[in-house]
C-alpha cells in the first residue's frame, strides 16, 4: 500500500516536472523564434553554425552510411537468397531501408549524440560563466542570438546530410560487389526498381523536423543550466537522451503520417 502510494507520488511528480519543462521550453522558444536584433549578426552566426554543426559532421555521416549500406546489402543477400527471389530485390530493399529509415531517422539519432551534446555544453558553459547574463544586460535577446542560428543552420544542412548519407549507403552497397556477393547490374536494377520520389521527400521532411528537435531541445537544456561544470555535463547527457527519445517518438508519428 505504502509502495503504491510512493509510486503514485513519483508519477505525479514526474508528470509535474515534465509539464514544467514543457512550459519552460515553449516560453524559451517564444523568445527564440522572434525577429533577430540585427540581421547582419544573425547571418554571420547562421553561416558559422552551418559550418560547425553541419560541415563538421559530413565525415562521420559518410563513413557510417557507407558501412551500413554495405552491411545491409550483405545481410539481405544472405537472408533472402533463394532461387525464387528475383536478384534485384537486394538492391531494392537496401534502397528502401536507407531512404526510409536509416539515412533520415537513424542518422539523425547518431547526430543527436554529436550535435546535441555540443550545443548543450556550449550554451551551458556560456550560462555558468555569465556570458548569457552579459548578453542580456546589453539588451540583446540572448535566446534568439544564440539559439536561432543553430536551429535554422541545422535545419538547412540536415537535408543535405541525409542526401549524402543515402548516396554513401548506395556506394557502400556497390562496394559489396567487390566481394563478389552481388553484381553491379543486379544492384542497379534494384536501385531503380519502382522508385517512388515521395519517399525521398519523406526523408527530407523527417530530417528537417529532427533537426529542429535536436537543436531546440539541446539548446533548452544548455540555456537552463544552473550551477557549475557538473551540471553542464549533466545537461549535455540529458540533451542527448531527451532529443534521441523525442526523435524516435516523432519517427513513429511521421512515418505513420507521411507513408
Partner 1 sequence: MIKVEHLYKSFDDKEVLKDINATFRDGEVNLIIGQSGSGKTVLMKNIVGLLTPTKGSIYYDNRDFVSLSKREKILLRREMGMIFQSAALFDSMSVLDNVMFPLDMFSYDAYEDRKKRALECLARVNLQGAENKFPGEISGGMQKRVAIARAIVLQPKYLFCDEPNSGLDPKTSIVIDELIAGITHEDKITTIVNTHDMNSVMGIGENITFICEGKAEWQGNNKEIMDATNKKLEDFIFASDILRQAKELHDQQQRMNRN
* Residues in contact with partner 1 by the rule CB under 8 A: 37-38, 40-41, 126, 129-131, 133-134, 136-141
Nearer to partner 1, 45 or 235 (CB): 45
Strands (E), the chain: none
Residues ≥6 apart with Cβ < 8 Å to 231: 124, 128, 225
Place of cell 526523435: 247
Considering the complex, what minimum distance in angstroms separates the CB of residue 153 from partner 1?
15
Sequence length of the chain is 259
Considering the complex, what minimum distance in angstroms separates the CB of residue 206 from partner 1?
31
Report yes or no: 154 and 54 within 8 Å, Cβ to Cβ. yes
Nearer to partner 1, 123 or 187 (CB): 123
Nearer to partner 1, 36 or 233 (CB): 36
Considering the complex, what minimum distance in angstroms separates the CB of residue 36 from partner 1?
10
Q: In 129-228, where does DSSP find H-type helix?
A: 131-137, 142-175, 184-192, 197-223
Helix axes 142-175, 184-192, angle to 10 degrees: 130
Considering the complex, what minimum distance in angstroms separates the CB of residue 137 from partner 1?
5
Nearer to partner 1, 97 or 126 (CB): 126
Considering the complex, what minimum distance in angstroms separates the CB of residue 251 from partner 1?
33
Nearer to partner 1, 129 or 183 (CB): 129
- Going by the DSSP 8-state scheme, the letter that residue 55 receives in this structure is G
Amino acid at each position: 500500500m505504502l509502495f503504491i502510494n510512493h509510486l503514485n507520488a513519483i508519477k505525479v511528480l514526474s508528470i509535474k516536472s515534465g509539464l514544467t519543462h514543457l512550459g519552460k521550453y515553449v516560453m524559451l522558444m517564444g523568445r527564440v523564434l522572434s525577429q533577430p536584433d540585427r540581421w547582419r549578426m544573425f547571418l554571420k552566426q547562421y553561416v558559422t553554425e552551418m559550418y560547425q554543426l553541419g560541415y563538421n559532421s559530413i565525415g562521420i555521416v559518410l563513413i557510417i552510411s557507407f558501412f551500413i549500406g554495405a552491411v545491409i546489402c550483405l545481410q539481405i543477400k544472405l537472408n533472402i537468397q533463394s532461387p525464387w527471389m528475383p536478384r534485384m530485390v537486394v538492391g531494392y530493399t537496401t534502397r528502401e531501408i536507407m531512404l526510409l529509415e536509416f539515412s533520415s531517422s537513424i542518422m539523425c539519432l547518431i547526430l543527436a549524440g554529436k550535435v546535441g551534446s555540443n550545443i548543450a555544453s556550449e550554451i551551458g558553459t556560456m550560462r555558468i560563466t555569465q556570458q548569457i547574463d552579459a548578453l542580456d544586460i546589453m539588451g540583446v535577446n540572448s535566446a534568439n542570438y544564440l539559439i536561432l542560428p543553430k536551429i535554422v543552420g541545422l535545419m538547412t544542412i540536415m537535408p543535405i546530410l541525409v542526401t549524402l548519407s543515402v548516396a554513401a549507403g548506395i556506394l557502400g552497397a556497390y562496394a559489396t560487389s567487390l566481394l563478389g556477393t552481388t553484381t553491379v547490374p543486379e544492384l542497379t536494377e534494384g536501385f531503380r526498381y519502382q522508385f517512388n520520389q515521395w519517399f525521398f521527400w519523406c526523408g527530407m521532411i523527417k530530417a528537417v523536423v529532427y533537426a529542429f528537435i535536436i537543436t531546440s531541445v539541446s539548446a533548452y537544456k544548455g540555456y537552463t543550466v544552473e550551477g557549475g561544470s557538473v551540471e553542464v555535463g549533466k545537461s549535455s547527457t540529458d540533451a542527448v537522451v531527451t532529443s534521441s527519445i523525442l526523435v524516435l517518438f516523432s519517427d513513429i508519428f511521421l512515418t505513420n503520417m507521411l507513408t
